[in-house]
A and B are shown apart, each in its own frame.
Chain A
């Protein structure tokens, strides 16, 4: 049973460019959350998608946007990249039927470097 799959694993972009990261949730999960983990920091919540809509959002600017598709997969888009956007981006999936979040399954992340 595949867990959460993220692509690409590594990415280098130039300041000002736009990037799209992709996530396929664990089988049976319908909710996708995105986190940013900067070096030496814990994961910071960006937003959560459920039923193709953004359900919750953390303290991130509008440059960060997302999408969820009918098959529950998700994309994270970041526009006008800044050097400070360099981080590990983690996708986590869960089942909407479980309010306790031990149901979160994380992917291995996409390492984004902005130069």
Chain B
């Protein structure tokens, strides 16, 4: 049973527009959430995170929103750039699990010039 779900396997966006990647989770114990970005032939790299005590965290062009009641988070990229084309993984963790992240299946983002 998947505890972290990314229901959109792929997303295509025009350069300069907003990219919105969605993630849902089922485990109510999760209290720390992360987004990782992965290019082909490379390992995932950390992008941005959010604690459950917040509902928004911003870092440059990247913003993560957390809706605890809906068990939903989203990653917004504004403006999108061709170099953002990659697979984005949503991950969640909790203190009981020693904060070891549980990953979703990923969403492949393609940003067209």
- Identify the A interface with B (CB < 8 A): 4, 33, 35, 40-45, 48, 55-56, 90, 92, 99-102, 104-109
Q: A35 contacts which chain B residues (CB < 8 A)?
A: 103
Interface of A is mostly: mixed
Residue contacts A-B, CB under 8 angstroms, 28 given = A4-B43, A35-B103, A40-B105, A41-B105, A42-B4, A42-B91, A42-B103, A42-B104, A42-B106, A43-B103, A45-B100, A45-B101, A48-B100, A56-B98, A56-B100, A90-B43, A90-B44, A99-B99, A100-B49, A102-B34, A102-B49, A104-B46, A105-B43, A106-B45, A108-B41, A108-B42, A108-B43, A109-B43
Number of chain B residues whose Cβ lies closer than 8 Å to a Cβ of chain A:
27
- Identify the B interface with A (CB < 8 A): 4, 6, 9, 32, 34, 36, 41-46, 49, 89, 91, 93, 95, 97-106
